[in-house]
Structure 1
């Protein structure tokens, strides 16, 4: 009840959510307050809000509830995966990894429903921290590695080399020769900008970041119109008139991951999807 109160902010909404009465919620929070020996809620106008101690306990509640769920699963290791699994991921990982897994799991585990949210890594990590999703499909680069949190549990999925997207008529040149060009970076994540700045620093210049774009197709359009250059994945079919030059000294590699909260991977729906994703990697 405390955890739901931290999310919903109203005892009435908590009562509706858990299927009880507002009075029962109030009594439950009062009993918990007596157990821990410190106030967990305080008045906030006609509503209530969590005290700092209440917020800290609500954060612990996520792990506590997960541990209880895992204990139950230990008693029933053959439980059929069923229910809703919430996944947030970037578009390429959804297409390349998640959709094939969903196709296979639809036959083997028909009670499992996967709901997809398209998000960049920073957004997905925020949703994971707030327990709004169960699984995040994220990426980083070898030149801009993610600083993983202690409560993150990761599984590597695949890698792809990235290169420099330029108009098709251009040939490979020293990176320093691009010092006067306008640059295009991602509008919803900072990783590729970190890579561009790292490469430029190695070549002795400060890149002029002009455009911040999310869709790779629009990056193609800007390059084709001569409005800038930027990083693009190698092997992808870009628009005619756009060429992706290799970067080799150093290489730029995107690395895709499946990320969960530590201790959650025993939940059958999540375990089923993770097993399928990692089986594809092993294959």
Structure 2
């Protein structure tokens, strides 16, 4: 069986549409269909079936994907072993990161890696942790940078390794002139009468903040949802809302806001996630080490 066709089937099992697979693999939708049809010819059994606009795998297709997962894991282990023997930090490496990390300490890490290892070519893409993990599992990215609010560590399987990078404190954002601007710290209960704007780049983060408000005895009144830091800052600056944001997201903000720590202090932990065992690969090891150094220097902890 052809490896590229197996990879196409694996992608289809996760993305569910031919168009999404085509985007991931850089081929046309018709080429995806051809690859699947050829794989069905090779195996002599139906591997997919159409349901509405999407495609689902048959029992045989799901079983073949399980075998393909093991095959690709073995191939990746072989690549890692060869790279470790060569002990060369070079080649392409892809990082998937949530926006607050991508705009804070990761650029510094990339700049230092370019100085230390010129043959290493790094490409960073901002995306949510769930999307990043999906990309990691199908070898579309090599390192995922995510926090433990937007991605529950308990949902990670044995196929990945996790490295702690830094701890990031959460802060309350208030407009200038707010009644609480002279308070040294702010409890959530003090914000029960406020209107809120929340970051919805991750539904998990939004749910976490709302649940924290409920635990403090109130349901937050929300008048703004956005996946853009700039929009959230603008709404708070204009006096429309207040918000709670991680320190890394505030690192380069140059506007006029009142920033106060929560009481008790609240934090999130940021990790780098890789496929199991790939930390032995010299280029992955170099990137992880530099991310940890840059993360510890750039963390938004008060």
Which TM-score band (shorter chain)?
Answer: 0.7 to 0.9
Stretch of structure 1 that moved more, 231-240 or 108-117 = 231-240
Q: Could you say which residue in structure 2 is the equivalent of 1:188?
A: 201
Residue 147 of structure 2 corresponds to residue 139 of structure 1: yes
1:99 is aligned, of 103, 107, 120, to 107
What count of residue pairs does the alignment treat as equivalent? 264
Q: Could you say which residue in structure 2 is the equivalent of 1:149?
A: 156
Q: Could you say which residue in structure 2 is the equivalent of 1:222?
A: 235
Q: Could you say which residue in structure 2 is the equivalent of 1:5?
A: 8
Instruction: Find the aligned partners of 2:140 and 2:124 in 1 and give their Cα distance.
Output: 12
Mapping for residues 192-203 of structure 1, pairs under 5 Å? 192-203=205-216
Q: Could you say which residue in structure 2 is the equivalent of 1:178?
A: 191
Return closer, same or farther for 1:67/1:271 CA change in 2, 3 Å cut-off. Answer: farther
Q: Could you say which residue in structure 2 is the equivalent of 1:109?
A: 117
Residue 5 (structure 1) shift:
3.1
8 A contact 1:217–1:239 mirrored in 2: no
Q: Which runs of 5+ in 1 are unaligned?
A: none
Return closer, same or farther for 1:40/1:73 CA change in 2, 3 Å cut-off. Answer: farther
Return closer, same or farther for 1:237/1:275 CA change in 2, 3 Å cut-off. Answer: closer
Secondary structure of 1:168's aligned partner: coil
Secondary structure of 1:157's aligned partner: strand
Stretch of structure 1 that moved more, 220-229 or 176-185 = 176-185
Q: CA offsets, 1:60-81, max 9 Å, x none?
A: 4234323233235435633223
1:54 is aligned, of 56, 61, 73, to 61
2:45 is aligned, of 39, 47, 51, to 39
Residue 119 of structure 2 corresponds to residue 119 of structure 1: no
Stretch of structure 1 that moved more, 149-158 or 107-116 = 107-116
Residue 253 of structure 2 corresponds to residue 247 of structure 1: no
Instruction: Find the aligned partners of 1:27 and 1:166 in 2 and give their Cα distance.
Output: 58
User: CA-atom RMSD, angstroms?
Assistant: 3.6
Return closer, same or farther for 1:130/1:201 CA change in 2, 3 Å cut-off. Answer: same
2:273 is aligned, of 236, 249, 259, to 259
Instruction: Find the aligned partners of 2:213 and 2:192 in 1 and give their Cα distance.
Output: 8
Q: TM-score, normalised by structure 1?
A: 0.76
Moved over 6 A (4+): none
2:81 is aligned, of 71, 74, 85, to 74
Q: CA offsets, 1:11-33, max 9 Å, x none?
A: xx99x99xxxx99x958973xx4
